[in-house]
């Protein structure tokens, strides 16, 4: 254990430190961006953190960028989580990461250098697990620690996973449990020790490499995908439903959750994103059958959360089986129905 | 003009805020990095900010990353300079940038949102000048403004410019004047107004796209290249000489400089890098014919500095002519001689 508890060195941790998406969109609408080149298959749009550039008919490049302040106390674990989180954007689009560059802001005056070593070692280990290369980066002397990666990878242009391909009858699969928002909020407020939330830390440190577990047949059964991060299951489900022109029906009782989540929500360990995600999805999600507490599970912002895979019904069980060895909580959580008034229905 | 003078909002601007390279190398030597994959043609090494990954025999991907705190007061100009500086790493390796993602840390509580709009507009304009795409990014709420880009581009794997290809008899060409270190230090200490250093600001905002001015014949005459940034002409020349196993002979009187440089150096507008660059090159550079003041010109850290091109003698004048329309100060500054005791000789 490091003597410095990293979460106590920052005011806002993880995704809570992001500039709110709605605010950013409003600001950036005033910038005159030129039309994107036609090689851009996925445009990062208004400062989204992932884009795809077509190199030729068989190869496209994925580029992503993500960084944040510490959400756990142990430097090596922070490095692992930040790396897994950054790599996730490539996996979520069906790509394989190849190179990663570090973004490091470090308080040289107040933090021992060993913290850098540990953060980097954690990141390097996870980048290796992803069979990618840690190829360098840029560091800056700053008041608070921040770390993340810009990752590039490759994907076949005809096999890009987007959030626009969901079809009526498809099945929804979530690869990781929900709850990292409230759990890391409890850690930051010192209501729990890092040792007591090892399951959440392990999950956040895990790379979202589902690809390597899929046969060609299973690959063909994936119609859409997204990773669950700051907008929570509610926000990312809503985005996917709207992009695909369908409604997602999610069974609350099927959702994988970390065991401590409900307790921490009950005790009020909330982030700004719990509220903003509720507001963001207010008009588009029917969760009338849930208690206010249950609703917070859906709005819980995830750091390095799981993939939401939208798959052909006949392949759903095979996909769950294929992933179980690596993603212990992987679950079928609902299905896709024809578009209704609400983009997301909870039952 | 913005009402906020950006340079007054940060303690350390531009490259001065970087973690010192020697310090970082010492720290990172304690991290156990795995061996890089064989596809890595240029490894970012110990946190260097540029790497090259070979895709196939005809295509390699260049990835770079750079960001810093404001070095000028006007937000749009800061955005332009930060973008040109980040794109430069791709050009310096003979590559063409294709996609750029923004790295934005922004003090929402203390700075008006219009600053974001202006920084982004400046960056977007320069990215367009480079025929690249601004494809997104990541933003964070932070105490001080920081901005930069992670850029990816492409280069033919057989036509990568490195700092290892200089040959005896080659000629040295520098594309931009020296002096941005002392000049921006003077601006930060309010000894000069932004309007009075327009030449330096224009130069820092200019993309290092030399490629588009070269015929195939001229392209074939380029043996090595590097961009002049934080280590100054002294540090980057030394690195190139050592990597190529030669000595660079630089004629001091031929160096392009901004007219105010000597005055600002005389008045003591120095950065930490003036000293660290002197120390870095102490044993490897013979500048005994220079005054201490002249030596500072060589050590002046550049932000978005020029390219140092090492070219075949017979093509040198043609290359200078080809670049003159775009790079008004482009100059032949010396030549390459067989390796001697010192990596760099000044006469």
| pLDDT given at position A1 | 43
Among candidate residues A135, A164, A85, A66, the one with its CA nearest the CA of residue B47: A135
Q: Which residue of A65, A69, A98 is in closest CB contact with B53?
A: A98
Q: What share of chain B is helix, strand, coil (3-state, %, to 5)?
A: 40, 25, 35
A156 and A61 Cβ atoms separated by less than 8 Å: no
Q: Catalytic one among A4, A6, A10, A15?
A: A15
Domains of chain B, with CATH numbers?
A: 48-159 (3.30.1330.10), 171-346 (3.90.650.10)
Asked if the Cβ–Cβ distance from A36 to B67 is below 8 Å, we say no
Distances (CA, A) of B322 to A14, B160, B167, B170, B223: 49, 20, 22, 18, 17
| pLDDT given at position B14 | 59
Looking at the DSSP assignment, which residues form a beta bridge with residue B140? A18, B105
Distance (Å) from the alpha carbon of B95 to chain A's nearest alpha carbon: 15
Asked if the Cβ–Cβ distance from B136 to A51 is below 8 Å, we say yes
Residues 6+ apart with CB under 8 A from A319: A173, A214, A218, A221, A222, A309, A311
| CA–CA separation, A110 and B205 (whole Å) | 34
Distance (Å) from the alpha carbon of A123 to chain B's nearest alpha carbon: 10
Residue with tokens 């390097």: A124
Average pLDDT in chain A: 93
Per-residue pLDDT of chain B (347 residues; tens, 9 = 90+): 446 788 888 776 555 566 766 778 888 889 999 988 999 998 766 667 789 999 999 999 999 999 999 999 999 999 999 999 999 999 999 999 999 999 999 998 889 999 999 999 999 999 999 999 999 898 888 888 999 999 999 999 999 999 999 999 999 999 999 999 999 999 999 999 999 999 999 999 999 999 999 999 999 999 999 999 999 999 999 999 999 999 999 999 999 999 999 999 999 999 989 999 999 999 999 999 999 999 999 999 999 999 999 999 999 999 999 999 999 999 999 999 999 999 999 99
Q: Which residue has the higher pLDDT, B42 or A180?
A: A180
Q: How many CB atoms lie within 10 A of CB A304?
A: 31
Residues 6+ apart with CB under 8 A from A301: A14, A15, A16, A180, A181, A229, A230, A231, A232, A271, A273, A274, A277
Asked if the Cβ–Cβ distance from B138 to A65 is below 8 Å, we say yes
Tell me the mean pLDDT in the region A2-22: 69
| pLDDT given at position A339 | 98
pLDDT-derived band at A14 (thresholds 50, 70, 90) equals low
| CA–CA separation, A340 and B223 (whole Å) | 64
User: 3-state DSSP call for residue A222?
Assistant: strand
Cα radius of gyration (chain A): 19
Distance (Å) from the alpha carbon of A110 to chain B's nearest alpha carbon: 14
Distance (Å) from the alpha carbon of A185 to chain B's nearest alpha carbon: 18
Interface predicted TM-score (ipTM) of this complex, two decimals: 0.89
Q: How many CB atoms lie within 10 A of CB B194?
A: 17
The token duo for B342 is 């010192």
Instruction: Count chain A–chain B contacts defined by CB atoms under 8 A.
Output: 215
| CA–CA separation, B66 and B92 (whole Å) | 14
pLDDT of A76 above 60: yes
Q: Which residue of A39, A44, A136 is in closest CB contact with B47?
A: A136
Selected for mutation to probe chain A from B9, B31, B88 (highest A CB count within 10 Å) is B31
Residue with tokens 């660059």: B277
Closest-CA residue of chain B to A32: B121
What pTM was estimated for this model as a whole?
0.92
Question: Which residues in B lie closer than 8 A to residue A67 (C-beta atoms)?
Answer: 103, 138, 140
| CA–CA separation, B229 and B226 (whole Å) | 9
User: 3-state DSSP call for residue A227?
Assistant: strand
User: 3-state DSSP call for residue B186?
Assistant: helix
pLDDT of A184 above 90: yes
B72 and B115 Cβ atoms separated by less than 8 Å: no
Helix-helix angle B272-281:B232-244, to 10 degrees? 30
Question: Which residues in A lie closer than 8 A to residue B23 (C-beta atoms)?
Answer: 113
Asked if the Cβ–Cβ distance from B55 to A51 is below 8 Å, we say no
Percentage of residues of chain A with pLDDT beyond 70 = 95
A147 and A82 Cβ atoms separated by less than 8 Å: yes
Looking at the DSSP assignment, which residues form a beta bridge with residue A141? A106
Question: Which residues in B lie closer than 8 A to residue A136 (C-beta atoms)?
Answer: 43-51, 65
**pLDDT of B245-292, one tens digit each?**
999 999 999 999 999 999 999 999 999 899 999 999 999 999 999 999
**pLDDT of A230-282, one tens digit each?**
999 999 999 999 999 999 999 999 999 999 999 999 999 999 899 999 999 99
**Exposed e or buried b per residue across B75-99, where buried means at least 16 C-beta atoms within 10 angstroms of its C-beta:** bbbbbbbbbbbbbbbbbbbbbbbbb
B102 and A175 Cβ atoms separated by less than 8 Å: no
């Amino acid at each position: 254990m490091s003597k410095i508890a990293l979460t106590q060195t920052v005011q806002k941790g993880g995704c809570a430190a992001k500039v709110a998406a709605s605010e950013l969109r409003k600001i950036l609408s005033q910038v005159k961006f030129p039309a994107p080149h036609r090689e851009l298959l996925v445009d990062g749009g208004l400062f989204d953190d992932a884009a795809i550039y077509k190199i030729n008919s068989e190869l496209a490049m994925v580029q992503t960028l993500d960084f944040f302040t510490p959400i756990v106390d142990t430097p090596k674990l922070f490095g692992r989580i930040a790396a897994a989180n950054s790599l996730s954007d490539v996996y979520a689009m069906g790509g394989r990461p190849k190179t990663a560059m570090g973004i490091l802001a470090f308080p040289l005056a107040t933090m021992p250098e060993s913290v850098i070593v540990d953060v980097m070692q954690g990141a390097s280990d996870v980048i290796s697990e992803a069979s990618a290369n840690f190829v360098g980066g840029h560091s800056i002397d700053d008041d608070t620690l921040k770390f993340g990666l810009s990752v590039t990878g490759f994907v076949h242009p005809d096999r890009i996973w987007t959030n626009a391909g969901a079809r009526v009858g498809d099945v929804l699969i979530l690869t990781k449990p929900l709850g990292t928002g409230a759990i890391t909020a409890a850690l930051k407020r010192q209501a729990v020790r890092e040792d007591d939330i090892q399951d959440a830390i392990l999950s956040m440190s895990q790379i979202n490499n589902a690809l390597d577990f899929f046969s060609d047949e299973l690959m063909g059964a994936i119609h859409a995908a997204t990773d669950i991060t700051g907008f929570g299951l509610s926000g990312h489900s809503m985005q996917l439903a709207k992009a695909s022109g369908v409604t997602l029906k999610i069974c609350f009782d099927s959702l994988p959750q970390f065991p401590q989540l409900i307790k921490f929500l009950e005790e009020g360990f909330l982030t700004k994103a719990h509220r903003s995600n509720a507001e963001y999805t207010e008009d588009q999600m029917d969760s009338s059958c849930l208690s206010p507490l249950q609703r917070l599970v859906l709005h819980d912002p995830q750091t390095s959360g799981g993939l939401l895979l939208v798959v052909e019904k006949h392949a759903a069980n095979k996909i769950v089986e294929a992933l179980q060895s690596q993603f212990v909580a992987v679950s079928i959580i609902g299905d896709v129905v024809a578009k209704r008034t609400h983009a997301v229905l909870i039952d």
